[in-house]
Amino acid sequence: MSSCADASLSEDDGRLLVADGERVHVSVATGGDIAPYREAMTRSASRIGRWNPVNPDDLVHHLAAQSATHRTFLIRAKDAARVAGDEAGLVGCVNVTNVVHGRFMSATMGYNAFDPYVGTGLFREGMALVVGIVLRQAPHGMGLHRLEANVRIGNDTSAGLLRSLGFRRERTMRRMLWLADGLGGRSAWFDHDSFAVTREEWPAAPHTANDLPTGVIVCGSGTPAAAAFAVARELGGVALADVPFDAALTTARYAAAPVVWSAGDDAEAAHDALLRAGATVARGDDIVASISGNPSDVTRAALRLRPRLV
């Protein structure tokens, strides 16, 4: 992804990107953090390495890249929350990269929590402060509108952290990153789930609803069930056909995915019942009935139906 730096910003502006929480402090990394960062990464390597590459010396690279489009934040425990004997108190690091300004105003966030603070809630507190800085207007923030984070499927701890902060799961990206499998010792392209939050939502409610299309497309007797099934698959949704009315109605109301209901002669009743129940519902006969066996027809039909969903 290309990025465009704001020429009015300089590296020195990173000194204004700070935040204080009840137990942690967040600021941009500096050269004085190289040694404690190396120690923290080395101490946490076996745990982090299950999911992410581990390079205890990579802060040097990040410091060289610091700019309006690349920020490295460190989360530090305040004195009262610091583990005895740990002078640096590094709780974790957060890299905000792939910053694009202009009409997108978005960035990607990557992060690691450090031992011995994992499980104390300090990293979550610090992450919330970092997100606030990213979405806050300059000069005390990065002035962005959207922040996303991509988590390898299976890393439920990382994904759960994002959900607890109110990030929505937006999509799955197949074969996104070439990574070593810390469990199996092999390298491969791994699938990731993408989570995001925007300025309007922040601070977000924990575990807010995921951002997935929902709604019901109802088709009548003039629409072949096979066509409805094909469109449902293209939409990544659920197809209903030859299902008792009440059971289909319940499924359509509560499905957390698009539904294409081949309701036959009950199509009008199904449409009206869903409207009364407050569901997002639309008829789809005008589009689905014209589908042939050509896959391109299915794709076009699904794309035309997509605006009728939410």
Does the structural domain 215-305 have CATH classification 3.40.50?
A: yes
Query: What's the pLDDT at 210?
Result: 85
Q: Provide the residue ranges of all domains of the chain, joining segments of one domain with +.
A: 11-201, 215-305
- Listed as ranges, residues in the chain with pLDDT below 70 are 1-13, 182-184
Distances (CA, A) of 285 to 104, 216, 222, 231: 36, 12, 7, 12
Query: Residue by residue, what is the 3-state secondary structure of 119-143?
Result: CCCHHHHHHHHHHHHHHCCCCCCCC
DSSP string covering 243-291: --HHHHHHHHHH-SSEEEEEEETTHHHHHHHHHHTT--EEE-HHHHTT-
Query: What's the pLDDT at 40?
Result: 98
Q: Do the Cβ atoms of 80 and 9 come closer than 8 Å?
A: no
Q: Domain spanning 11-201: which superfamily?
A: Gcn5-related N-acetyltransferase (GNAT) (3.40.630.30)
In a 13 Å sphere around the CA of 139, the CA atoms on its Cβ side amount to 9
Q: How far apart are CA 113 and CA 91, in angstroms?
A: 6
Query: What's the pLDDT at 209?
Result: 86
Query: What's the pLDDT at 266?
Result: 96
- In the chain, the amino acid numbered 78 is K
Query: What's the pLDDT at 303?
Result: 93
Q: How far apart are CA 28 and CA 62, in angstroms?
A: 11
